Chains A and B, each alone.
Chain A
């Protein structure tokens, strides 16, 4: 068997419902060791280590430019790292990409989809790309569109979808093959509260079944409500990681986050003209 044909997990099982990874005691679904990436002079990711337990719903939070998207891209095999290792359910993403990809679902930050397909066609395409039989891909696409509240727009072109609808369609594409681990980059950015609630409930249900979710976000309230584990990344390094309670340490996650990544000094005196009491 050629090297590129090696597959630890059979494709058919990934498509038809992969047996859940059973980690031993303290087993992790995602293990990241010494992951680093440099773009010219800038070290975008400066050697991060991370462990996400199986069945966990984990958040990766950080300010803009902290390295969240770069890290997630490297974890999902979309961006080649300069160094480090990523294991997903024990499979090395960069040593054995076919097997690792078969058990992963990915929603990238910039949700640009095949927007000349209808929502229904898009999800069916995602399923068929994963080797699913067309009938099953269609059936799962219909069920996902229903749960994602997109059934009424299933035959509309994705080009005509709103941002929230696109995010939900992208989530449907990532879930259609029933992955064991789901990576999402800013899943709720630009999403209205109703769609956000649909996504939030789906993620909780997915993680509740024993699957693992890792997502990046700016929205601390969301992470606080949904996640059981959080890692804060700043300047390409994980500054703290642990359970929500451990990281927030008796305060809110928002406050803990601002304390950790450093509040910016502002001199609001210069805006003395601002407000209805000023002329």
Chain B
């Protein structure tokens, strides 16, 4: 059975490769990344040789890998059919057969191989002597087995939940800490490391609690064997093996249950209010009401808002960690935060997907389309302006100069107006279908439309930066004037300027959209938005 499942996995990989050029390219890129991971991890682990903290650092890396195995399948659940045991429920298989087969399938592919090869870096970095190397090889195999068993147990236990709407929503939110973590590693860590604030010694102390986690057991077993304590090494490996057996047993039990238990989707949610809000604002109010409810209820919308905050903070992260606190960095955060609100909505029809047809069958005239864009812009502004301004204040407070936050506010208002106007224009000028891909719950351009996406992203970003220029210049040129006077003039000016830009954008977009509704509909219909 294990052989059949491995063949099935290989066949699925091969078929995906044959399906399209994009699939081939993404497979090649994915394999290249797996090779990079293998080589990079091997070199990093090997590089710990001779360091006093090598066992702590190895335990950290082993834990990071376990975390990755835990998160990645949850993110990819909806698209990797080999992960959901219920798809195999109709076949006459015993649970043990199924478990063995799924485990073997998990071991198949470039990424599991990359894990084993990469982690074998410990044979150079941590292990010394024959027994040390032998224990290192066993520890790596057990570590990867642990990762797989953990991942399988968690995904199978969550299988019922993840097949439901709310479960998928939950999985979608995992992207926020991941993006935050990514931004932290790309923005903060290099800066801190360059300034000597993060060194290998920073990881001392992790050891006290991490040594008792399964990845820590694997790392310490290698050190024990290398230091001539084979008994202790074997005891640790035994403990790790026991954890794997327990996880495997739990997994088999969970699998048996998952195959015969009902989906939780039927436990549906009810909404409290019966009426759509903003009844007095006509068509504009209707669109705004629908859009407002979506900002609260749609996980994708919440993710976009969280990403706006992460991006706003990340742009100035170096300013927080670094020694030079220049206000210009926070102004850049203001522009980026505002621009990304526009970027995330610069393909409104494609992002809405097939439900856009309901709107398209009702809207035709310029004033209706103006109300459509305006309703959405009002909601984005009501949420976005305070959010980005608050993030800028947070940054300013973090650098100990709250005044910088005040200066950022007019730039946020001007930038947001520009970004919203531009997003309306790009919605009409470059409509494209969007899809959800494996590994990310956010939407990406469908195959063949990457150019449209790049155009609208760069166009909105550059356009916002240029159009926010006058506001930035006003803030910089009035540096020497008293803050109260500057605020009294700059804030209303920024608001009026931003409002004018948004108004111009939505008017131009509405005029253009009257002749392009069928094209917007086609972009929406071809979107695979769930």
- Whether chain B is bound by chain A comes out as yes
Interface residue? A173 (CB, 8 A) = yes
Selected from B165, B283, B518, B525, the residue in CB contact (under 8 A) with A129 is B283
Selected from B274, B276, B366, the residue in CB contact (under 8 A) with A128 is B276
- Stretch in contact with the other chain, from B315-323, B355-363, B445-453: B355-363
**In the complex, chain B residues 256-300 whose Cβ is within 8 Å of any chain A Cβ:** 265-266, 268-271, 274-276, 279-280, 282-283, 285-287, 289-290, 293-294, 297-298
Say what secondary structure dominates the interface of chain B.
helix
Given contacts A116-B293, A128-B283, A155-B270, contact A4 B366 (CB under 8 A): yes
* A159→B368 CA distance, assembly (Å): 27
A–B Cβ pairs within 8 angstroms, 9 of them: A4-B365, A77-B517, A78-B521, A78-B525, A80-B518, A120-B274, A125-B286, A129-B362, A130-B362
Given contacts A97-B364, A156-B268, A157-B271, contact A116 B522 (CB under 8 A): no
Selected from A78, A117, A134, the residue in CB contact (under 8 A) with B361 is A78
Say what secondary structure dominates the interface of chain A.
mixed
Q: Is the CB of A121 within 8 A of B271?
A: yes
Contact with A along B333-362 (1 / 0, CB 8 A): 000000000000000000001110111111
Q: Is the CB of A101 within 8 A of B361?
A: yes
Q: Is the CB of A5 within 8 A of B365?
A: yes
Chain B residues packing against A (C-beta within 8 Å): 165, 265-266, 268-271, 274-276, 279-280, 282-283, 285-287, 289-290, 293-294, 297-298, 353-355, 357-368, 514, 517-519, 521-522, 525, 529
Given contacts A97-B364, A108-B525, A138-B274, 7 further A-B contacts (CB under 8 A): A4-B366, A4-B514, A5-B367, A114-B294, A129-B283, A135-B279, A156-B271
Q: Which residues of A contact B362 (CB under 8 A)?
A: 101, 126, 129-130
* A115→B290 CA distance, assembly (Å): 11
* A108→B290 CA distance, assembly (Å): 20
Q: Which residues of B contact A124 (CB under 8 A)?
A: 275-276
Given contacts A101-B361, A116-B297, A125-B290, contact A157 B269 (CB under 8 A): yes
Closest B residue to A120 using CB positions:
B274
Interface residue? A112 (CB, 8 A) = yes
Given contacts A114-B358, A159-B165, contact A78 B518 (CB under 8 A): yes
Q: Which residues of A contact B269 (CB under 8 A)?
A: 156-157, 160
* A58→B280 CA distance, assembly (Å): 39
Closest B residue to A157 using CB positions:
B269
Closest B residue to A106 using CB positions:
B361
6 closest Cβ pairs, A-B complex? A160-B268, A112-B354, A128-B286, A134-B279, A129-B362, A98-B364
Q: How large is the interface on A (under 10, 10 to 19, 20 to 34, 35 or more residues)?
A: 35 or more
Distance in Å from the Cβ of A81 to the closest Cβ of chain B?
9
Given contacts A79-B521, A101-B362, A160-B165, contact A110 B271 (CB under 8 A): no
Q: Which residues of B contact A78 (CB under 8 A)?
A: 357, 360-361, 518, 521, 525
Interface residue? A104 (CB, 8 A) = yes
* A173→B361 CA distance, assembly (Å): 11
Selected from A77, A105, A116, A173, the residue in CB contact (under 8 A) with B518 is A77
Q: Is the CB of A113 within 8 A of B366?
A: no
Selected from B276, B289, B290, B519, the residue in CB contact (under 8 A) with A80 is B519
Interface residue? A131 (CB, 8 A) = yes
Closest A residue to B164 using CB positions:
A160
* A76→B358 CA distance, assembly (Å): 12
Q: Which residues of A contact B271 (CB under 8 A)?
A: 118, 121, 155-157
Q: Which residues of B contact A110 (CB under 8 A)?
A: 354, 525
Interface residue? A274 (CB, 8 A) = no
**Which of B268, B357, B517 has the most chain A CB atoms inside 10 A of its CB?**
B357
Q: Is the CB of A108 within 8 A of B286?
A: no
Q: Which residues of A contact B517 (CB under 8 A)?
A: 77, 97
Q: Which residues of A contact B289 (CB under 8 A)?
A: 125, 128
